Amino acid sequence: MAEERCRNCVYFQPHIFFPYIGYCDANEKPAHEHGTCEKFKKVSLDELLSALNRKGGVYCITCGVTIVDRSELENHSREHRVVAGIVFDEAIAAEARSAD
Amino acid sequence: MGSKWVSYKSNVWVDWCPGCGNFGILTALLKAFGELELDPSKTVIVSGIGCSGKLPHFVNVNGVHTLHGRAIPFATGIKLANPELTVVVCGGDGDILGIGAGHFVALGRRNLDIVVIMHDNGVYGLTKGQASPTLPLNAKTKALAKPNIQQALNPIMLAVSSGYTFIARGYAFEVEHLKNLIIKAIAHRGAAFIDVLQPCVTFNDVFTAEFYGKRIYKLEEDRLWDPVVRRAEERPTKILKAIEKSMEWGDKIPIGVFYIDSTTPAFEERLSDRLKVYPKVSPSNSIITTVDSKPIINNELFEKIFSEFIVKVQLNKHDTTVQ
Amino acid sequence: MSYSELSILLGGPQGSGLETAMLMLSRALAYRGYGVLADREYFSNITGRHSYVLIAVSTRRLPRSLTYPVQLLVAMDAETIFTHFENVDVGSVLVYDKEVEAKKLTELSSMEDALRGRISNNLRTSMLGDDVSSLLKSFESRRVTTIGISYQEVLKELVERFSLDPRTLSKYVSGIVTSSAALILGLDREALRYGFESVFRGRATVVEQNMYLADLVWKELREFEGLLKLKKPEIDVEKVLVATGNDVVAMAKVVSGLRYQSYYPITPAADESFLLEKYELSEVGGTIVGPIVVLQTEDEIAAIASAIGASLVGARSATATSGPGFDLMVEGVSWAGMNEVPVVITYYQRGGPSTGLPTRGSQSDLLSSVFSAHGEFAKVVLSSGDHLDVFYDTIEAFNIAEKYQVPVIHLLDKFLANSTATLPLPDLNTVKIDRGLLSKGQEGYKRFSLDSLVSPRVFLGTPGIVMWYTGDEHDELGHISEDPVNRVRMYSKRIKKLQLIEEEVPRDIKLRVYGHVRGDFCLIGWGSVKGVALDALEVLEKKGYRGAYIEVKMLWPFPAREFLEAIDGVELKRLIAVEHSYGVNIVALISMATGLVISKKVAKFSGRPIVLSELVPAVENLLTTDANYVVLEYGE
């Protein structure tokens, strides 16, 4: 049974590069993967499917890809760490190089 | 006025085929220049390739005969760098809408103050009459072995969606009418487009002078036709009307002004919002050297302008390491 | 122990703060009087792929070349440790994020399979496990000091203390990287603050937060402070420019009087035009500089066409591009040649053919630029060896273009474009603006007058003057003419300008000779080969080989006379050509211009820059064995 830590919570959106820190959708504030709170809701396939429907996509941390298809989500969620959303760093636009 | 336009002719023999619609376009252009009394040294015709490409050589104003399809970008550089010039682009329909279509669209998006006159004859004349972007599907002109397998595009509609703010159609052998369109287009501030229906006597035996003669009518004869956008809110309605009118092609073919919008800022105005001194001070008249051929930026100015790149070295006085 | 020269590698996922870290560290180092050269290596990717900066730091001079192995590796992620495991020196220092210790090679989704396969093989051969902690253990046997820092702990404290938005984390991760590198190099915190301030300009809070973060790093890593202490700098400069090649070109264009620049977005050229837009109009102390119209066109064809148009009306005009874009411009170059239009094309080479390696460097477009465009006409191809040369040559490109009324291609490359260097401030007292033979015209003005090779130029739009231009063969007025007699005269006039250029362009613009030509060997190259070649001369001299570097700066028209003079008395077998290409194609140009066939070549076409540590043994190899062709491949 997974611990009731942010890491396993559906509201926790990890940072794209440093996934131990992120944003909590429920408390609307920064969170750390080891944090806990009474709003904890375990990540489950149903929750992810609902996020997929709501947002159009969820993210597989293990593979580093965005999932937009239900059956793909089912496949990933079996063994990978899939999250309902990630924190996209705002510095990326400035950091990115002209690259094509 | 009267015959003043004759002085705008150059001494070069006009080598188009006898009966070519280009003669009408050339004459209308010369007459428009004459009527506007344009200063030849402050006027420039930029052309592409093909029969229409030669036009600048027949006119006694500055002429730049460029590459196939590229008259618009050449003209863009000319106009941006010297905004006081009157710039007219002449190109065929293959030139403007085939190889150069991307540039045609881009000029509309910029709404730069240039007039584009498209010699629209449905064929590539100087390469022996291949089908051009305005020749309809299945049309079979005499040089084609088989009927045209590609569709025509609608130049007026493309101009509208590209953002041209003056859009008209003329007919090469309605010289007075075309002259007036050209005058209006030159007076308009922003990107202007005139699609000129032009018979090609040698290669286009479908869209002949006889064909057009029977079908042409003038939009302005309809007193209810009002293509002018006076307030920005009117744009969608007038755009739809222009598009609807542009689809009229059959027994009756309209010529005249389809759309005029003076509420969209011209590119020069957009630029002058950024470059405060522009267009009064422009790339072509601004100073770039001192009297003794030095750059106007000296060492002191350089350091001020580019201070973000300059690091003033401050050695660490507490550093006890040896060199 | 203290160091006078160091190689540093910073690596991490593209977009995670590396760019900022590089800028802050370079500026902090420059502030304390050190010389820096930083090469930026990245994938064609916005974010996520492995990206790194290879930095040369020197206390003795402004560095000219890069070299391996590195003495300091700062890894933001596991992929950096795996990728650059082999690049670190014995006795070096690794700073890494403790969180990644358990990461396995197979878990790195952003790594290309080819590299993963190579690393996997190497690990197997070395009998190492495929996780970071195994690598860390093996580092110990190479006397590498491994310094783990928990990014997590530092970031957590920072986020909590300042209630930071997690979307801004990268800004602080770059602070960790910079602070830890600074600490190990023995840089003080004032210098670090300068680095932060110069990058987070006008954002005092971010600077303070980063300083707080630096304190955390200092507390955590105190015992390692000055582990790779830099010696006291002895470079005698009060001020330096810290800039990329793209930046330098833009600055030089502003100085040169550029008034029109067109471009279509392409790597590695676009940054130059971006920067020019920022400086499109400056007003300093009553002097107005500009306006420069910078136009993003719909394609490269429009870019060259509009630049030519602007030139016709008298604006100094240019465009900037790379190989794929230049290919599209070529018809325009031919028109410019036909119509004797001064226009400058700043051409940043990257790896081809086709899209090739869009973010990696190359010099493989030498022949395609020299021989670009149909028909015969005069054009000039200039190259530059380093950032400071880039500055002066950019201005010279305009002078040559206008003086001889020809298109000039300024052939640079990605290595120069993207690497950040410390360079002396250019001295503008030595700079001239030569606009060539200008005239206000007179009755009956002929734009293409045959009275002289270079006809007096009147700008289109000049009051009272009318002129014609055409891509067709034309008479003196610019009207179409197919007359054979006129054709011969006009055609020859345009081409003969090449002779004039060969005769008149100063030797220093054409070719430079460094070192001892009549020694044991003579390197020949152009462009970004310069720095590493000059450094190789010094290293080889210590090894007992005296040599020279002949830098061909003007690639076309090829300075045959100067080249022959330079190598006079040197045996052919002592000449070694060096180039970032497969063919080392300068050899073909030399052979065409002089009849001499150079058989010894050093080539590199992996897309990575030639580094000192590989060039030296390559030259030794060519000098001591029968080998004629050495391909360099070092660098990930």
What span, in angstroms and rounded, lies between the C-alpha atoms of B28 and B15?
17
Query: How confident is the model at residue A28, as a pLDDT?
Result: 92
* Candidates B275, B284, B302; nearest CB to C313: B284
Q: Tens digits of per-residue pLDDT, C125-146?
A: 999 999 999 999 999 889 999 9
Distances from the Cα of C607 to the Cα of C67, C361, C634, angstroms: 16, 5, 10
Stretch 443-462 of chain C: residues touching chain B, C-beta under 8 Å: 459-462
Cis peptide before C13 (omega within 30 of 0): no
Across the A:C interface, residue pairs with CB atoms under 8 Å apart total 115
Chain centroid, CA C230 distance in Å: 26
CATH number of C510-632: 3.40.50.920
Sign of CA dihedral C513, C519, C522, C528: negative
B184-193 in b/e form (b: 16+ CB < 10 A) is bbbebebbbb
What DSSP state is assigned to residue C242? E
CB B130 within 8 A of CB B123: yes
Stretch 410-449 of chain C: residues touching chain A, C-beta under 8 Å: 418
Pairing status of strand B310-312 against strand C407-413: unpaired
Q: Do C469 and B65 touch (CB under 8 A)?
A: yes
What span, in angstroms and rounded, lies between the C-alpha atoms of C137 and C131?
10
What span, in angstroms and rounded, lies between the C-alpha atoms of C79 and C74?
12
What span, in angstroms and rounded, lies between the C-alpha atoms of A69 and A66?
9
First to last CA, chain B: 85
Mention every residue, 6+ apart, whose C-beta is less than 8 A from residue A54.
Answer: none
Measure in Å the smallest separation between the Cα of C294 and chain A Cα atoms.
18
What span, in angstroms and rounded, lies between the C-alpha atoms of B108 and B191?
6
Name the phi and psi angles at C560, rounded to 5. Answer: -60, -45
Query: How confident is the model at residue B93, as a pLDDT?
Result: 97
Residues of A within 8 A of C173 (CB-CB) are 17-18
Residue type at B215 in one-letter notation: R
Q: Could you tell me where the beta strands, DSSP code E, fall in chain B?
A: 43-47, 62-65, 86-92, 115-120, 123-124, 130-131, 166-171, 192-197, 216-218, 228-229, 253-261, 310-312
CB C139 within 8 A of CB C146: yes
Task: Please give the residue of chain B at the shortest CA–CA distance from C314.
Answer: B284
Query: How confident is the model at residue B89, as a pLDDT?
Result: 98
What span, in angstroms and rounded, lies between the C-alpha atoms of B178 and B169?
8
What span, in angstroms and rounded, lies between the C-alpha atoms of C312 and C314?
5
Mean pLDDT estimate for chain C: 97
Task: Please give the residue of chain C at the shortest CA–CA distance from B282.
Answer: C291
What span, in angstroms and rounded, lies between the C-alpha atoms of C326 and C314?
23
Do C242-430 and C510-632 agree at the fold level? yes
Strand partners, A87: A15
* B323 inside domain: no
Instruction: State yes or no: pLDDT of B1 exceeds 70.
Output: no
Residues of B within 8 A of C260 (CB-CB) are 77, 80-81, 283
Chain C neighbours (≥3 Cβ pairs under 8 A) are A, B
What span, in angstroms and rounded, lies between the C-alpha atoms of C458 and A62?
66
- Residue B201 structure tokens: 């006597």
Strand partners, B87: B44
Q: Tens digits of per-residue pLDDT, B213-255?
A: 999 999 999 999 999 999 999 999 999 999 999 999 999 999 9
First to last CA, chain C: 29
Quick one: average pLDDT of C165-175?
90
Q: Is the minimum CB–CB distance between C262 and chain B shorter than 8 Å?
A: yes
Q: Do C17 and A95 touch (CB under 8 A)?
A: yes
Q: What is the CATH architecture of C242-430?
A: 3-Layer(aba) Sandwich (3.40)
Q: Do C166 and A23 touch (CB under 8 A)?
A: yes
Q: What are the residue boundaries of the structural domains of chain C, listed by start?
A: 2-230, 242-430, 437-505, 510-632
Q: Is the minimum CB–CB distance between C614 and chain A shorter than 8 Å?
A: no
* B88 inside domain: yes
What span, in angstroms and rounded, lies between the C-alpha atoms of C66 and C532?
7
Q: Tens digits of per-residue pLDDT, C454-512?
A: 999 999 999 999 999 999 999 999 999 999 999 999 999 999 999 999 999 999 999 99
Q: Rg (Cα) of chain A, in Å, rounded?
A: 14
Instruction: State yes or no: pLDDT of A22 exceeds 60.
Output: yes
What DSSP state is assigned to residue B202? T
CB C458 within 8 A of CB C447: yes
Question: pLDDT band at A2, cuts 50/70/90?
Answer: low
Alpha helices in chain B (DSSP H): 22-36, 71-81, 93, 101-110, 155-162, 175-187, 209-215, 235-246, 267-274, 299-305
Q: Do B60 and C466 touch (CB under 8 A)?
A: yes
Percent of chain B with pLDDT over 90: 95
Mention every residue, 6+ apart, whose C-beta is less than 8 A from residue C433.
Answer: B288, B289, B293, B294, B295, C256, C257, C395, C398, C399
What span, in angstroms and rounded, lies between the C-alpha atoms of C431 and C427?
7
Task: Please give the residue of chain C at the shortest CA–CA distance from A18.
Answer: C152
Q: Tens digits of per-residue pLDDT, B220-230?
A: 999 999 999 99
Task: Please give the residue of chain B at the shortest CA–CA distance from C279.
Answer: B305
CB C351 within 8 A of CB C420: no
Q: Do C293 and B60 touch (CB under 8 A)?
A: no
What span, in angstroms and rounded, lies between the C-alpha atoms of A52 and A71?
11
- Residue B37 structure tokens: 């009394």
Alpha helices in C380-454 (DSSP H): 387-404, 414-418
- Residue B101 structure tokens: 């279509």
Task: Please give the residue of chain C at the shortest CA–CA distance from B54.
Answer: C480
Residue B202's domain is classified under what CATH number?
Answer: 3.40.50.970
Distances from the Cα of C466 to the Cα of B63, B111, B187, B310, C342, angstroms: 8, 27, 22, 46, 19
* Candidates C31, C256, C260; nearest CB to B283: C260
Query: How confident is the model at residue B131, as a pLDDT?
Result: 95
Interface mutation target, options C225, C328, C470, C474, chain B, most CBs of B under 10 Å: C470
B303: three-class secondary structure by DSSP? helix
Measure in Å the smallest separation between the Cα of C454 and chain A Cα atoms.
39
CB-CB neighbours of C466 under 10 Å: 24
* Candidates C15, C99, C109; nearest CB to A92: C15
Q: Is the minimum CB–CB distance between A29 and chain C shorter than 8 Å?
A: yes
Instruction: State yes or no: pLDDT of A1 exceeds 60.
Output: no
CB-CB neighbours of B104 under 10 Å: 27
CB-CB neighbours of C168 under 10 Å: 17
Task: Please give the residue of chain B at the shortest CA–CA distance from C436.
Answer: B293
Unique residue bearing structure tokens 């002066």: C392
Q: Is the minimum CB–CB distance between C96 and chain B shorter than 8 Å?
A: no
Task: Please give the residue of chain C at the shortest CA–CA distance from A95.
Answer: C15
Query: How confident is the model at residue B320, as a pLDDT?
Result: 75
- The domain of B83 spans 2-272
Q: Tens digits of per-residue pLDDT, C539-572?
A: 999 999 999 999 999 999 999 999 999 999 999 9
Question: pLDDT band at C614, cuts 50/70/90?
Answer: very high
Question: pLDDT band at B43, cuts 50/70/90?
Answer: very high
Q: Is the minimum CB–CB distance between A96 and chain C shorter than 8 Å?
A: yes
Question: pLDDT band at B321, cuts 50/70/90?
Answer: confident
Query: How confident is the model at residue B2, as a pLDDT?
Result: 61
What span, in angstroms and rounded, lies between the C-alpha atoms of B64 and C444?
18
Q: Tens digits of per-residue pLDDT, C418-468?
A: 999 999 999 999 999 999 999 999 999 999 999 999 999 999 999 999 999
C556: three-class secondary structure by DSSP? strand
* B292 inside domain: no
Task: Please give the residue of chain C at the shortest CA–CA distance from B79.
Answer: C310
Distances from the Cα of C403 to the Cα of B41, C150, C400, C451, angstroms: 24, 61, 5, 16
Q: Do A17 and C173 touch (CB under 8 A)?
A: yes
Q: Is the minimum CB–CB distance between C101 and chain B shorter than 8 Å?
A: no
Q: Do C461 and B82 touch (CB under 8 A)?
A: yes
What DSSP state is assigned to residue C419? -
The DSSP secondary structure of C74-105, one letter per residue, reads EESSHHHHHHHGGGEEEEEEEEEEGGGTT-BG
What span, in angstroms and rounded, lies between the C-alpha atoms of A42 and C415?
49
Interface mutation target, options B309, B317, B318, B323, chain C, most CBs of C under 10 Å: B309
* Candidates A63, A89, A100; nearest CB to C167: A89
Mention every residue, 6+ apart, whose C-beta is less than 8 A from residue B178.
Answer: B24, B25, B28, B170, B171, B172, B194, B196
CB-side exposure of B171: number of CA atoms within 13 Å?
19
Q: Which of C473, C477, C501 is nearest to C489 (CA)?
A: C473
Question: pLDDT band at C222, cuts 50/70/90?
Answer: very high
Q: Is the minimum CB–CB distance between C245 and chain B shorter than 8 Å?
A: no
Q: Tens digits of per-residue pLDDT, B58-92?
A: 999 999 999 999 999 999 999 999 999 999 999 99
Query: How confident is the model at residue B307, as a pLDDT?
Result: 97
Pairing status of strand C600-604 against strand C629-632: parallel
Query: How confident is the model at residue C171, as a pLDDT?
Result: 87
C257: three-class secondary structure by DSSP? coil
Q: Which CATH number fits domain C2-230: 1.25.10.10, 3.40.50.720, 3.40.920.10, 1.10.15.40?
A: 3.40.920.10
Count of the separate structural domains present in chain B: 1
CB C447 within 8 A of CB C468: yes
* B42 inside domain: yes
- Residue B44 structure tokens: 């420039």
Unique residue bearing structure tokens 């309209």: B254
Q: Do C460 and B311 touch (CB under 8 A)?
A: no
What span, in angstroms and rounded, lies between the C-alpha atoms of A33 and A45?
20
Q: What are the residue boundaries of the structural domains of chain A, listed by start?
A: 6-95
Q: Do B295 and C469 touch (CB under 8 A)?
A: no
Q: Is the minimum CB–CB distance between C38 and chain B shorter than 8 Å?
A: no
Mention every residue, 6+ apart, whose C-beta is less than 8 A from residue B76.
Answer: B103, B107, B110, B112, B114, C295, C297, C302, C305, C306, C309
